[in-house]
Amino acid sequence: MPHATQPAQPRTGLLDKIASPADLRKLEPEALPALAAELRNFLIDSVSRTGGHLSSNLGTVELTIALHYVFNTPEDRIVWDVGHQTYAHKVLTGRRAGMASLRQHHGISGFPRRSESLYDTFGTAHSSTSISAALGMAEAARLRGEDRRAIAVIGDGAMTAGMAFEALNNAGDIHDTNLLVILNDNEMSISPPVGALNKHLSRLLSGRLYTGARKIGKRVLENLPPPVIELARRTEEHVKGMVMPGTMFEEFGFNYIGPIDGHDLEALLPTLQNLRTLKGPQFLHVITRKGQGYKLAEADPILYHGVSKFDHTAGIATGKDAKSGGKLTYTQVFGDWLCDMAAIDKQLIAITPAMREGSGMVRFAHEYPDRYYDVGIAEQHALTFAGGLACEGFKPVVAIYSTFLQRAYDQLIHDIALQNLPVMMAIDRAGLVGADGATHHGAFDLSYLACIPNLTIFCPGDENECRQMLHTAYRHNGPTAVRYPRGSGLGVKPEAEMTVLPIGKGEIRRNGRRTALLAFGGLLGTALQVGEQLDATVANMRFVKPIDRELILKLASEHDLLVSLEENALIGGAGSEVARVLHEAGSTVRLLQLGLPDRFIDHGDQAQLLAEVGLDPASILKRIEEAYRPNS
């Protein structure tokens, strides 16, 4: 009877034995499929309790097991691209218990993190960095004479970024570097090539017989005339090209193997074992399926990509307000405005760097497919592409997360702002985003945008203002940025009518005495709460550039203390602009600047993080009280 009350025990019998990859390597190969089943069940149960990335992690279970089984980790370095495919890796490297705190305040990260484990060889969360980092590690080993391997595991989406190809180009030119690039390809359309023939060819092409034959052939040919050598090279490429799609990677200087089934351990293990013995740049193409082994995620891998807590038996609720708690999110405000504006203006073009769902563009993509461009994970290209469209009279709108806009800074300056092109950037996830942590917080955009000439920066304080600012920015003849936070706002219903707001003008939301709170964007609601408790004036500043100089000086003349509030780095942010205005005017009013501190902020619940950095109502009240104390 005791066994009947513990159904989970048989499912984790093998997993219970694994405290590190060294334990994994003690298992017989025949036991690994059963371990994969246990690990997959554990991930489904664990992520349903904590939230996190699910589909991508279910797709890499067998690949993760095979890598740690074949390679001597952590001596051999594995670099995971993006990092939202590493939950199985975390479990197998001693963090199974920590999964209960995944992405929670003071819990383990949802991405690889060097400070968390020796097995996390490189911190990742932004895409397409793995090949560059692994190449650096491979070259370090070569320079030191160390016999270890460096493996980059990159998803097919990350291969759309130019940085990945820059790294491939460099790696292929260093012929004696021991680098293995694994393309984790989970596009359903590429599934047909997977089968017995490809499995056989992959083993053959990674084996000693084939590689030995290539070496002998090169020695035989090296003294022959160049035309004969070129003919032999082309013949080999054409023979391989008839049965596999690897010619492009061969041109980069890699030995291409695949594609093989990334869920078939009988194919993965011998192929990786062969590749571990080969010298020079190697490229393994594996086919996986997002959500593998969980029917609901297999059927809708996008819905189950990033999840909150859910009942894994019943599945995720998909009602309209399932995630927003009934309030309209800023992302939804943008998506609705985009469709409404497109109906009015046929010159509107919408661009996203692979964030259609996250940026609220699903409806637009369906209703206006001819004016919708998903350029892949290519933020640099997205902005310059938009600039080219703007040169020809179109009105491009680039929907992009704050953290990803950082990757296109040069293009923003040189290709858009310098030419004063009317490109609008709808910047989502500005401020603290919560569980994704430091790599995804929109902590710096006001600082890095404010110094760019010609750029107008909008900071809406509520949902309706967001809609009107999007409209205003779109109508403006120059580069604009509208930045808004993740999630819902104050619950203000957007007005259907769209109105152009006066650029560079803030407004008073509450009149009070002694203290004036200058709120920039998403902290307006917090400022209003504090204003009620202090009987303080609250100004909704609306713009960081141009900043409302007249309003700032008026408030300075009528109050003893000004308090700037922003969900952005204090250094170079909106508060710095307020200080500049006061200094230039010779004002002696006291200014308390509140924002994000000069450190990277960890992951956790948004409310917890705001309290931690002193941007919750209680902390703000305390700082204001301290400012009024003598000698403070």
Query: Which amino acids are annotated catalytic?
Result: 290, 379, 407
> Exposed (0-12), middle (13-18) or buried (19+): which is 402, by Cβ within 10 Å?
buried
C-alpha 563/C-alpha 577 separation (Å) is 13
How far apart (Å, rounded) are the C-alpha atoms in residues 619 and 371?
Answer: 46
Report how far Cα 449 is from the mean position of its chain's Cα atoms: 20
In the three-class reduction of DSSP (H, G, I as helix; E, B as strand; rest coil), residue 185 is classed as: strand
CB-based contact 84:53 (threshold 8 Å): yes
Per DSSP, 189 falls in state G
Cα separation, 59 vs 40, whole angstroms: 9
Q: How many residues does the chain have?
A: 632
DSSP structure string for 237-304: HHHHHHH-S-HHHHHTT-EEEEEEETT-HHHHHHHHHHHHH--S-EEEEEE--TTTT-HHHHH-TTTT
CB atoms within 10 A of CB 181: 29
Among residues 395, 385, 420, the alpha carbon closest in space to that of 344 is found at 395
Radius of gyration of the chain (CA): 27
> What is the rounded end-to-end Cα distance, in angstroms, of the chain?
69
CA torsion angle 601 607 610 614 (round to 10): -130
